[in-house]
Amino acid sequence: MQKDKEPGSGSNPNHRPNYLIIRPRRGGYRDLYQYGVRGDETSKRKFLERPDDYSTSTTSVFNVETDDHRWVIVVSILVRKIIRLLRTPMEYTGLVVDFVLNLLSENGGFFGLVLGLIKANVVIPERGSVTFVSTIGQLDGRIDLYKGWHFVEQLVCMEDSVSSGSSRRGGIEPGSRGLVDLCVMASKLAYENAKVVENVVNLHWKMNLVEFLDCWNDYQKQMSTQVFILTDKEKDADLILISFRGTEPFDADDWGTDFDYSWYEIPNVGKLHMGFIEAMGLGSRDYTPTFDYHLVLTSSEKETHQTNLPEMVERSAYYAVRETLKRLLAEHVNAKFVVTGHSLGGALAILFPTLLVLKEETEMMKRLLGVYTFGQPRIGNREIGSFMKAKLNHPVDRYFRVVYCNDLVPRLPYDDTTFLYKHFGTCLYYDSFYNETKAEDEPDPNPYGMRYAVLSHVNAVWELVRGLMMGFMYGPGYKEGWFRILFRFIGLLIPGLSDHCPTDYVNSVRLGPDYDLQMSPL
């Protein structure tokens, strides 16, 4: 494995780790009340962990910051405590829902299941099989790419645009819409098991699945970071695509990651979301020197470092994906690569090139065609954004963050004019009529207040009505099934939750500007 060349202060003898870890389980609800209402220092220290040797001046700044945003941290802790309590019920609910939905789909629906019971010929779904579809796949059963997209033609158009330094916007101009469609469909496909992914990529998309990986997620303490890699063809490929799996609907740990405010600071770069770093397998909050080892230390310092982490390196999503990508770029000399993901997968998708920049993988970054994320949460502070903008959006924009309407997840973790987490990159915002706006950030970045509550619920009613009419308005390919409509009803209670479903992201890409452009069939 190639030695990393990390920037920052790994060679700075005065470097001291800087991080904030929020630990909801170390205090009770009484402690949370004492900290939230009275600002009790003893209760505060139960929940918030900082380095032991931090200076007095830095600690005072930290105290001001945490006191100013105490209620945000309290809400985060409370939500994560509730999610923790619901962990087992959510897990079993997910198992039951998955089984029932697949039982219905594999037997031709409710009446087909009844007929099968009468004939004693019921098909029992097998988890992990090529026919077992995830909850996300049941919400939106589309698997084929947009019927009017010719892959090679559009890729060449994109490559010419990037190499010439054109100002054309990837993901907006008609020549790149097919690439965005591939990304949003790959982001949705990442929720499926390996056999389903292989079937769709190889047989439906007529592409080449290279690898399907289950990697170590230290936040969840299990092999739950899922990613697959494909090429457009087996030999002399033009495109390599990396797709990270997102937040699963019934996975409490995934949702806990989105609501986590813990961060780790990389010297001279900025602060990154600690849970997302752990999902990449590059550190553990249970032993914080691991973050220094992977993110800060130089290669020579690693050789003398006392921490022995071969197992973490072997199971890390970052190292596994990087080595596969390096091999593919050497094998396909004309290929460029794209990284994509939905929800948590979107956070990992933008974190991956961020880590490549930190590791000074310059040659690999030269062949990055783009990063397309959908419903992605914030991954770090303003300094990270400033650091990455020059690396990703020069000479043309290569990072696009797609946000649909009132989706809650892109508005997490909380942000205001002074708080920590900030988005960066170009935001492609779609409203509930699938109108597109290019902006620095989505409207209502912090979804709170009476105005937002009223408007979002009114919009949820409209989305329910629209969902019932999609098939009549746009054709049978956009018709929403009973399960998606049921999820729309849930959106009447929690509007931002329904809007996070990949269905509206696929619709936004296909029904947005120039959606009726006719191109050659795949």
Task: For 164-184, give the DSSP string.
Answer: HT----TTTSHHHHHHHHHHH
Quote the tokens at residue 397. Answer: 């924009």
Q: Which residues of 323-348 are buried (b: 16+ CB within 10 A; e: fewer)?
A: ebbeebbeebeebbbbbbbbbbbbbb
Out of 273, 332, 423, 500, pick the active-site residue: 500
Half-sphere exposure of residue 358, counting CA atoms within 13 Å on the CB side? 27
Residue 465: which residues within 8 A CB-CB, separation 6 or more?
none
Contact status, residue 275 vs residue 260, Cβ threshold 8 Å: yes
Tell me how many helices (H) and strands (E) the chain has: 23, 12
From the number of C-beta atoms within 10 Å of its C-beta (0-12, 13-18, 19+), residue 57 rates as exposed
What is the CA angle 480-481-487, rounded to 5? 85
Quote the tokens at residue 313. Answer: 């390196």
Give the gyration radius of the chain's Cα atoms.
23
Residue whose entry in the numeric block shows the structure tokens 């004309």: 334
| Residues across the chain | 522
Out of 31, 260, 407, 499, pick the active-site residue: 407
Out of 134, 176, 343, 508, pick the active-site residue: 343
Q: What is the C-alpha end-to-end distance of the chain, expressed in Å?
A: 38
Half-sphere exposure of residue 136, counting CA atoms within 13 Å on the CB side? 29
- Is 407 catalytic? The answer is yes
CA neighbor of 341 nearest in space, from 251, 426, 247:
247
Long-range pairs of 277-280 with CB within 8 A, sequence gap ≥ 24: 277/351, 278/217, 278/218, 278/219, 279/217, 279/218, 279/219, 279/220, 279/225, 279/317, 279/344, 279/347, 279/348, 280/225, 280/316, 280/317, 280/318, 280/348, 280/351, 280/352, 280/355
CA 350 to each of CA 272, 321, 355, 372, 401: distance values in angstroms, whole numbers, following the listed order? 12, 13, 9, 8, 9
What residues are labeled active site? Answer: 343, 407, 500
